[in-house]
Structure 1
Amino acid sequence: MPSRRPALLAIASAIAAAALLASPAVAVAAPPEYTPGADGAGDPYFPLAGNGGTDIVHYHLDLDYTPAPPDPAPIEGRLDGVATIDLVPTQDLSRFNLDLRGLTATEVTVAGKAATFTQTSNELVITPSKKVKAGKAAQVVVRYGGTTTRPTDIEGALYGWVTTRDGAMVVSEPDGSATWFPVNDHPTDKATFSFEITVPEGLVAVANGLPSRPATTADGRTTWYWDAPDPMAAYLATASVGDYVVNQYVAANGTPIFDAVDPARLGAPSESLALTSDMLVFFESLYGPYPFGSYGAIVDDDSVGYALETQTRSFFSRTAREGTVAHELAHQWMGDEVSPFRWADIWLNEGWATYSQWMWTEHRGGQTAQASFDDYLSIPADDEEWELVVADPGPLGLFLNPVYDRGAATLHALRVRIGDEAFFDLAKQWVERYGGGTASTADFIALAEEVSGAELGDFFDIWLYTPEKPTDW
């Protein structure tokens, strides 16, 4: 009989081969792919604002500032800073960007090691000596400085670090923070802040939050220390400098208040600011507890007609009328606690703040919110007021009147449509759900429908997306 061994060996080999083919492949982990972070946050209005690949956790800003000399010298100051930035990479990074404009970085370290860097007109591009892994916290230290002037935004309005003869006016909406510190300058990356600000003796430096320790003076210069522990969009940070008169007290709702007022503006503005305590109580009844650990105001005499709701410390130039004080305070909930996901969503900031102003006026015995709405609707249909798409005003339309007043009218019309109970439930849920972060117009529409149980697509199309006067909704 012929031997069967070769046949058996062949069969065994075939079975082994089939088993190998059928068994799953052994996974071999691929090495991380380190790539550069994006040079913007993806906002079409401001493509270079913000950056990709990092989540900023905390900024500590150590600033040394000398204001402009007296007339007739140019209005130019000197700012030197060290920014210590705690961040967590959101991807494996070979390099990453921070926004910095008009000032020059001279030294950068990442995780304690010197990094190479380059600068363009808006970007500080940092290449660490060792690539940075996603999720692994790192500390970036940037030493920088330069001459400060009076920068302007895309519309030509003063913003950022605005040099003055006796200090600085620091108001940065929408993308002006890059004029005074290296930053991820978009609302979608909120962080906590702390400040050490050194200025000539006799000047006061006021930032967000509350003083973290008493000011110290040495060699003719005073350092002011501030801590802002609530997550904040960078455009809401301030470090204004002036010869302010300071008033501190505790509001009726328990909020510590720190007001800093230019001596030349101690009249009517201070009378309006005195209503802050009552306003806090009123807006808490509408929107829920005040979201931050402090509040206050800066009133400066160095510019004309400017107000901005820097977080916990609203800024007013020259005047602080009662309605404007109410408007900026309401922003602490609507705009600061809940910030815009994209700058196209700014009507949610300004519409809510303007409507809050209408409701405060009614609360004080003045014109009702309904009467304010009726006044607005009396504008003729052929007026250019109705030509703006409120939910997409464009980068040059962020601060046009319809964003404010049509935004407010949208909210009043919604209140009439869904009723007071659902409307104010919506307001509180908006702050509860999205507080500490950002939200979009689409988020607001979805929540309004959820809370009210109504289909509101046509309503919002008419009010927010149709560039004509609403007549039927």
Structure 2
Amino acid sequence: MFPRSLRRAATAAALSLLLAVPLSAPAAAMSRAPGAPGIGDVYFPDYGNGGYDVKHYNLKLDYQPGADRLDGKATLLATATQSLTRFNLDFLLDVREVKVNGGLAAFARTGAHELEITPARPLPRFLPFVVEVTYGGVPSSIEVPGIVRPWIKRADGALALGEPEIAWWWYPSNDHPADKATFDVSVTVPEGKQVISNGVLASQRTSRGKTTFHWLMDKPMATYLATLYIGDIEVHKGRSSTGLPVITAYDRTLGPRLEFAKASVERTPEIIDWEASVFGRYPFSSMGGSVVNENVGFALETQTQPVYDSIFFETGPDVAVVVHENAHQWFGDSVALKQWRDIWLNEGFATYAEWLWSEKEGTGTAAELANALYDEIPADHPRFWVRVPGDPTPAFLFYASVYWRGGMTLQALRSEVGDDDFFAIIRAWARTKQHGNGDTNEFIALSEKISGRQLDALFQTWLYEPVKPAGPPATVTARVREAGPPASYERHKKFHELLHGPA
């Protein structure tokens, strides 16, 4: 881990170097053009932006609970990938000032969530630059048609939580998983309030009735995985068996759900140890989890600090959801998507991790659970088999088939290539793509390379054919058929019914 004192010195040196970049560098003579207002995602063409790559976000925020007032200054360290006459950031709050390389820049609103910035001089290709945006507003007052507001105003604070959209409501960004960056987040709140974000809590200082929390994420992170949880929160700090800091946080209004939540989330270090034995070394420098009492109806794999709705712990512990969200630390967080279309690489893998946990615990093997789900859903179901996990469409990005049929795809792969090659594939995917991005074609190519088999037909059948496959994902004994769906089936079913009606 990069020590905090060295990080401050290095950041200051980097800023000085970037601000000193000559604007008349030779690359400036190359063809100049504005950066595209989208990064090129086939599902969300206007998400993210073209022409540059963000390396680091430095956010200094001041938040006032009650009024839900957020004021901030975001400093982005980026590199131009073309000679830029202007470029866009994704953002919704009111902007007071923008500087590029220390000089004032013009800015304007375009589109639903675009902040268009025109620097005083074009930015040369391949050279780094610094953007400073000073802003403020009331995030909960902003509504974008067709999007559920992901910034939640709470009686005692706020919660920033959403996928694929959340960053627009609290910091300017190149908002797409294809452009990951490190983060440095400082948040000042009234004394007595707590702030949970991603990574390591580097410092916590109180002065004149206010407390500033400084969080560091030293590994690249997709913008939607950045989170804020502010309020009256019960916070627990500890260490994992490998010495990593562990922070867990619980809403003080959980009531009887608190006991069940703790019985689940406090097992995070144990679960991550087991997942590391299956997927390879844990890719981050901290771990934890937060339980909120907001009835958002989902949990999210926010990097190193998953957030769980308390509804998961309404009737008892739910260890499976903790397994699921922490499996995402490998599949979805460390290995992020290149395109949102490939969301099954996140959700299918995390679902399969639940089944592997069941296998470990002796409550049904992954093969048993995959086959039981296959048997449970009839071939003439009006939507499940038609909504293919390999191309679910934007409206059904989180539909049940992405999770369950995505998991069945992995079981079908395991049955085809055998355990040795299957787990070698999974570990190699996590290792070779660590802190980067991947897509389905790359995963298929890796599977074929390691197994020595041609697997196009298998993946076509399970990911893309809009019909129920002719046979189950695994060949198992009659006893297996009596296992029934996985323990998390009813929970997943409820979640998908909330989103889309009956699965």
Q: CA deviation at 1:29?
A: 10
Is residue 180 from structure 1 mapped to residue 170 from structure 2 by the alignment? yes
Q: Choose which of 361, 371, 395 in structure 2 pairs with 1:364.
A: 361
Which AA in structure 2 matches 1:42?
Answer: G
**Counterpart of 2:387?**
388
Match of 1:105?
95
Mark the CA change 1:235 to 1:30 in structure 2 (over 3 Å): closer, same or farther.
closer
Report the secondary structure of 2:396's partner residue.
coil
Q: Does 1:325 align with 2:317?
A: no
Contact preservation (8 Å) 2:74, 2:171 = yes
Matches within 5 A, 1:453-464: 453-464=452-463
Aligned residue in 2 for 1:399 = 398
Instruction: Give the one of 276, 293, 307 matched to 2:285.
Output: 293
Q: How far apart, CA to CA, are the structure 2 residues paired with 1:195 and 1:135?
A: 27
Distance verdict in 2 for CA 1:471–1:105, change over 3 Å:
same
User: Taking structure 1 as reference, are residues 212 and 377 closer, same or farther at Cα in structure 2, changes over 3 Å only?
Assistant: same
Change (3 A) 1:56 1:420: same
Where in structure 2 are the equivalents of 1:267-346 lying within 5 Å? 267-318=259-310, 319=312, 321-346=318-343
The Cα of 1:32 is off from its aligned counterpart by 1.8
Cα deviation digits, residues 239-291 of structure 1 (max 9, x gap): 21121111111122333211111123331111101221221121111110000
Note the C-alpha offset of 1:150.
6.8
Matching of residue 259 in structure 1 with residue 256 in structure 2: no
2:184 matches 1:194: yes
Q: Is the Cα contact below 8 Å between 2:34 and 2:85 reproduced in 1?
A: yes
Question: 2:32, 2:84 within 8 Å by CA — same for their partners in 1?
Answer: yes
Task: List per-residue Cα deviations over 1:34-68 (Å, max 9, x = no partner).
Answer: 11000000002111110001110100111111223
| Larger CA deviation: 271-280 vs 401-410 | 271-280
Q: CA deviation at 1:30?
A: 10
Deviation per CA, 1:142-197: give whole Å up to 9, x if none.
001111217678865442x2221111111131122111110000011000001110
Q: Tell me whether 1:87 sits opposite 2:78 in the alignment.
A: yes
Are the equivalent residues in 1 in contact too, given 2:28–2:83 (CA < 8 A)? no
CA distance in 2, matches of 1:211, 1:361: 33
Partners of 2:371 and 2:278 lie apart in 1 by: 22
- C-alpha displacement of 1:198: 1.1
Q: How far apart, in 2, do the equivalents of 1:51 and 1:295 lie?
A: 30
- 1:55 match: 53
Residues 94 and 169 (structure 1), Cα distance of their counterparts in 2 relative to 1, 3 Å cut? same
**RMSD of aligned alpha carbons:** 1.8
Unaligned regions of 5+ residues in structure 1, if any? 1-27, 70-76
Alignment of 1:350 onto 2:347: yes
Contact map agreement 1:170 1:239 (CA 8 A) in 2? yes
| Aligned equivalent of 1:148, options 139, 144, 147 | 139
Q: Residues 150, 115 of structure 1: CA spacing in aligned structure 2 closer, same or farther, 3 A cutoff?
A: closer
Q: Deviations for 1:366-416, whole angstroms, at most 9, x for unmatched residues?
A: 222122111111121001211112111111111110000000011011101
The runs of 5 or more residues in structure 2 that have no matched partner are 1-25, 474-503
Cα distance in structure 1, aligned partners of 2:147 and 2:38: 22
Write the distance in 2 (CA, Å) between the matches of 1:239 and 1:381. 42
1:66 correspondence with 2:64: yes
- 8 Å contact 1:297–1:314 — kept in the other structure? yes
Is 1:272–1:322's contact at 8 Å kept on the other side of the alignment? yes
Cα distance in 1 for partners of 2:160, 2:27 equals 49
Q: Specify the SS of the correspondent of 1:386.
A: coil
Larger radius of gyration: 1
SS of corresponding position for 2:332: coil
SS in 2 for 1:416: helix
Pairs within 5 Å for 1:1-16: none
Distance 1:328 1:51, change over 3 A: same
**In structure 1, what is the equivalent of residue 433 of structure 2?**
434
Distance in 2 separating the partners of 1:30 and 1:113: 17
Distance in structure 1 (CA, Å) of the matches to 2:96 and 2:210: 24
Partner SS state of residue 347, structure 2: helix
The answer to whether the 8 Å contact 1:150/1:158 transfers is no
**SS of aligned partner of 1:390:** coil
| 2:27–2:124 Cα contact (<8 Å) kept | no
> Relative to 1, partners in 2 of residues 1:154 and 1:428: Cα closer, same or farther, differing over 3 Å?
farther
Larger deviation: 43-52 or 299-308? 299-308
Question: Counterpart of 1:372 in 2: which secondary structure?
Answer: helix
Q: Is the contact between residue 296 and residue 313 of structure 1 (CA under 8 Å) also seen in structure 2?
A: yes
Partner of 1:4: none
Alpha-carbon displacement from aligned partner over 1:289-331 (angstroms, at most 9, x marks no partner): 0000011111111234220000010001214521101100000
Residue type of the alignment partner of 2:298:
Y
2:214 pairs with 1:225: yes
Amino acid at match of 1:275: R
Deviations 1:427-452 (A, max 9, x none): 01101111111111111111111111
> How far does residue 135 in structure 1 lie from its aligned partner after superposition?
1.6
SS at match of 2:289: strand
Q: 1:250 to 1:154 in 2, by over 3 A?
A: farther
Q: Are residues 151 and 399 of structure 1, via their aligned partners in 2, closer, same or farther at CA, if it must alter by over 3 Å?
A: farther
Q: Percent identity?
A: 43
AA in 2 matched with 1:182: P
Structure 1 range deviating more: 303-312 or 56-65: 303-312
1:270 and 1:29 mapped to 2: Cα distance? 56
Name which of 35, 41, 44 aligns with 2:42. 44
Contact 2:290 2:306 in 1 (8 A): yes
Letter in 2 for 1:282: W
For the Cα contact (< 8 Å) 2:84–2:122, is it kept in 1? yes
State the match for 1:20 in structure 2.
none
